[in-house]
Amino acid sequence: MLGLRLHQVHLTQPTGGIITLATIEIHPAWLTILRGIPALHIQTTMAGSDGEATIALVDGTIALSKIQLNSNAKIIAALFSQAAIIQPSGSLHLSGAITLNRQNGMPLQGNITLHWSDAASPLLGTTPLGDFSLTLSSQQGKWQWGLKGGKTIATNGAGTVTTSSASLTHWGITGHIHIQAHGSPPAIIAAMLHAGSANVVISGTLSQPISQIEHTI
């Protein structure tokens, strides 16, 4: 099969960090090409992760479709250094599609879903927190996020995302998350709850989120 396979590929993040891919395979996406659209299918592997997507050039945009990523949750700390302190564990599965501006890489529209199964963190105790689902989608040019799931702490949140930069870490975020405890929640969570629940207001950026308890119920 016509294609290209590379080993030990180093990618530099806008924040200066380096991501190392064990392998990356690039092949023509023939079904898309036969429709007259230039496209490639890319598959990657790295420590604890594998992913794939089809990349096409459509009307001055870069369309990423059939996105699939399976990874250990430790990748969160690798991408966002501020998350290293919580030492996240569990399994991640990301899927969806997104369209980018071909000139500056800015996201134009899309729909992404991230599932975090068996979520856990030593900072939050030894009991798994459950499964969580995070969605990101564009509605009439505006990006919105949603969060739900959890076992010992059930969450339900929503808000907006401001895509002011091609760098994911610089995206602004606003919204709220309602937290409801079930059973014995982690001590660090229990300390911010009243009568077993709390509303948390989220602001800042994806790399430097700010959370504040607005009121408890």
Per the DSSP assignment, residues forming a β-bridge with 21 are 9
Alpha helix segments (H runs only) across 96-215: 187-190
Residue 206 DSSP label: S
34: Cβ–Cβ under 8 A, 6 or more apart, which residues? none
pLDDT given for residue 14 in this prediction: 59
SS3 percent helix, strand, coil of the chain, rounded to 5, is: 10, 60, 30
pLDDT given for residue 193 in this prediction: 76
pLDDT given for residue 23 in this prediction: 94
Burial class of residue 5 (count of CB atoms within 10 Å of its CB; 0-12, 13-18, 19+): exposed
- Using DSSP's 3-state secondary structure scheme, residue 73 falls into coil
Q: Where do we find the tokens 């250094």? A: 81
CB atoms within 10 A of CB 179: 21
Phi-psi region of 14 (alpha: psi -120 to 50; beta: other; left: phi over 0): alpha
Can you tell me the distance from the alpha carbon of 15 to that of 143, in angstroms, rounded to the nearest whole number? 23
CB atoms within 10 A of CB 147: 20
Residue 203 DSSP label: E
At position 117, the amino acid (one-letter code) is S
Q: Return the domain boundaries, the chain.
A: 57-215
Burial class of residue 146 (count of CB atoms within 10 Å of its CB; 0-12, 13-18, 19+): middle
pLDDT in tens, the chain (217 residues): 688 999 998 887 656 667 788 999 999 999 999 999 999 999 999 888 999 999 999 988 999 999 999 999 888 766 666 666 778 889 999 999 999 988 888 889 999 999 999 998 887 777 788 999 999 999 777 899 999 999 888 999 999 999 877 777 788 999 999 988 887 777 777 777 777 788 999 999 887 888 888 755 5
